[in-house]
């Protein structure tokens, strides 16, 4: 099908990530954790620039933290974002983010609220990880570089604390370009052309066809907006001009942790596990609430309803079935329902 030619030139004031190629309407993705994937030449770097530019220009207090595993793009973002390139820099910023997350958790508990509200002093943090495969290769817990452990904790617990991990990779296969645990909690997905059906299936599912996208800058969106496998591709805003990135975006003071001194060590593992368990319990509560409201629903419908990934919902349903709280009707696509 021929895609209409549309003006996708980016400029300050552009909203969302691009245009629906069918209707021409602006398509936005809500703040939160995201997976961005696409093979080489598909336009992942340009889409990533659009997402980061949105963070820099956001009306909500927001700071961008850019973990550049390749070390190729970060020079463009000096003065706009907190940058970490070398393994030791990346470990340091991850430790600061973990400390910030725990301060926000304690503030939320003290105030009796379930979600953190960003302020100028403690803004929403857009934590961009690019390229995921390079970060996986750097991870070395035996030599004091436990990068993935910290990033997993941030991805799992950051949603309510307004610390949004955006995991980006051009090799979207589990264990290679995407950590399995991080993949499981990525609620929102923006997937450009993938190299084949295997990559497509692992990041979107067999009913999607991202491997059949033909042009650079075309992306499928899977999030709570309800865009399904039959959607028209989204045309990403064209932010490919390097000079445009530097000149058009306002300068921002790079974020750094401001809070009580916290030393992160192996002694924190129990607390990390408690944070993760707390997040999983939240998914289970959301699933039970949605089933009470709907009577019965398939796992994919529940994922859309509560704004969580399919894999996280399936894990929650499995645990709830083992606990005798839910049951599934006969058949592969049968809906779930409450037992009591």
Beta strands of the chain (E only): which ranges? Answer: 18-20, 26-27, 34-37, 62-68, 82-84, 124-130, 163-169, 188-191, 218-222, 234-236, 296-297, 326-328, 336-338
**pLDDT tens digits for range 62-95:** 999 999 998 889 999 999 999 999 999 999 999 9
Pairing of strands 34-37, 163-169: parallel
**pLDDT tens digits for range 24-60:** 999 999 999 999 999 999 999 999 999 999 999 999 9
d(CA 165, CA 155): 6
**pLDDT tens digits for range 182-228:** 988 888 999 999 999 989 988 898 889 999 998 899 999 998 888 88
Q: Identify the bridge partners of residue 62 per DSSP, sorted by sequence position.
A: 124
State mean pLDDT over 321-327. Answer: 85
d(CA 270, CA 245): 42
**pLDDT tens digits for range 211-220:** 999 889 999 9
């Amino acid at each position: 099908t021929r895609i209409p030619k549309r003006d996708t030139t980016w400029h300050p004031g552009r909203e969302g990530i691009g245009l629906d190629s069918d209707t021409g309407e602006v398509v936005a993705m809500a703040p939160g954790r995201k997976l961005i994937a696409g093979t080489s030449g598909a336009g992942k770097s340009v889409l990533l620039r659009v997402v980061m530019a949105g963070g820099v220009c956001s009306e909500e207090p927001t700071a961008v933290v850019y973990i550049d595993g390749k070390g190729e793009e970060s020079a463009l973002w000096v003065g706009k974002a907190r940058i970490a390139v070398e393994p030791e820099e990346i470990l340091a910023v991850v430790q600061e983010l973990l400390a910030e997350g725990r301060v926000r958790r304690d503030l939320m508990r003290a105030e009796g609220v379930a979600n953190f509200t960003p302020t100028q002093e403690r803004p929403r943090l857009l934590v961009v990880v690019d390229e995921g495969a390079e970060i996986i290769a750097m991870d070395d817990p035996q030599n004091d570089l436990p990068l993935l452990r910290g990033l997993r904790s941030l991805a799992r617990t950051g949603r309510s604390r307004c610390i949004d991990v955006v995991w980006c990779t051009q090799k979207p296969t589990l264990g290679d370009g995407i950590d399995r645990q991080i993949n499981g909690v990525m609620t929102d997905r923006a997937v450009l052309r993938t190299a084949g059906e295997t990559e497509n299936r692992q990041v979107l599912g067999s009913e999607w066809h991202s491997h059949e996208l033909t042009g650079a800058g075309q992306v499928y969106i899977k999030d709570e907006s309800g865009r399904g496998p039959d959607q028209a591709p989204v045309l990403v805003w064209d932010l490919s001009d390097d000079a445009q990135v530097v000149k058009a975006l306002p300068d921002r003071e790079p974020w750094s942790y401001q809070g009580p001194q916290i030393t992160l060590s192996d002694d924190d593992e129990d607390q990390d596990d408690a944070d993760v368990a707390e997040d999983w319990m939240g998914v289970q509560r959301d699933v039970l609430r949605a089933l009470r409201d709907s009577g019965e629903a398939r796992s994919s419908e529940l994922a859309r309803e509560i704004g969580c990934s399919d894999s996280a919902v399936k894990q929650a349903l499995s645990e709830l079935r083992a606990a005798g709280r839910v049951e599934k009707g006969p058949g592969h696509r049968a809906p779930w329902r409450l037992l009591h």
